[in-house]
Amino acid sequence: MIAVAEPERTIVIVEDDANIADLLDMYLRDAGFRVLQAASGERGLELVEQHRPALVVLDIGLPDIDGFEVCRRLRARSSLPVLFLTARDGEIDRVLGLELGADDYVTKPFSPREVVARVKAILRRGQPDARDQHDTVHVGDDYVVDVTRREATRGGESVPLATREFDLLAHFARNQGIALTRQQLLDAVWGVDWYGDDRTVDVHVRQLRKKLGDDLPLATVWGVGYRLG
């Protein structure tokens, strides 16, 4: 059996200065992360909701809601690690204030290498999110996969799925935008010890499409496997 490659971990950068965001984006990608950028606080919250990143790099001065408010809203529903980008001493004091629970900060101007090192350090010490009560993933406009409750909904309506179908959907949802081979899916959902046929995956994908409807953004990647979103 082939070893499963660990899915790339996603970092969301919330920073309205495109030069800084692009620079960090480049260094984080080089370090093997999948990177998504948001130029406003609201957009950052959306991306977090949709993509379930491993960490958020968060600037404080943003055009809509500031980084403190973004952090507060994130903290209201999860303990997702946050690395603040700060520009002024006054900001550092607030970041360090216990109320926000920031995981770390770097002060501008910073070296992108330092940011990457901090990100890695935070992720190393970060255990799976035990405080997170809402392990849900949004897919497209209509679908929500609630991993904690093991429930999939379409437009608010619950869609009953068999265990493997749900596990397959949850795995897709956590790896949105990434093409997954049949073998990777077998290893992740059926387990590395499962000696089955690749066609098992196709059968379950067909079932998922049938149950969840045509709007599910699940694409066949010819010659490879499947990709959600």
Nearer to Ca ion, 39 or 144 (CB): 39
Strand order in the sheet with 225-228: 180-181, 225-228, 218-221
| Cis peptide upstream of residue 109 (ω within 30 degrees of 0) | yes
CB of 184 to Ca ion, least distance (A): 38
| 60: nearest Cα among 25, 14, 21, 124 | 14
Cβ nearer to Ca ion, comparing 93 with 215: 93
Residue closer to Ca ion (CB basis): 16 or 146: 16
CB of 62 to Ca ion, least distance (A): 6
What are the distances in angstroms from CA 218 to CA 21, 65, 162, 163, 227? 30, 33, 18, 19, 6
Q: Shortest approach of Ca ion to residue 92 CB, angstroms?
A: 15
Q: How many CB atoms lie within 10 A of CB 37?
A: 19
Between residues 59 and 167, which has the closer beta carbon with respect to Ca ion? 59
Supply the minimum distance, in Å, between the C-beta of residue 78 and Ca ion. Answer: 23
CB 85 to Ca ion: min, Å: 8
State in angstroms the smallest separation of the CB of 71 from Ca ion.
Answer: 14
Record the tokens describing residue 129, joined without a space: 């999110």
**CB within 8 A of 217, min separation 6: which ones?**
139, 140, 228, 229
CB-CB neighbours of 96 under 10 Å? 12
Q: Binding residues for Ca ion, per CB under 5 A?
A: 16, 59, 61
For Ca ion, the nearest residue by Cβ is 61
Structural Rg of the chain based on CA atoms: 19
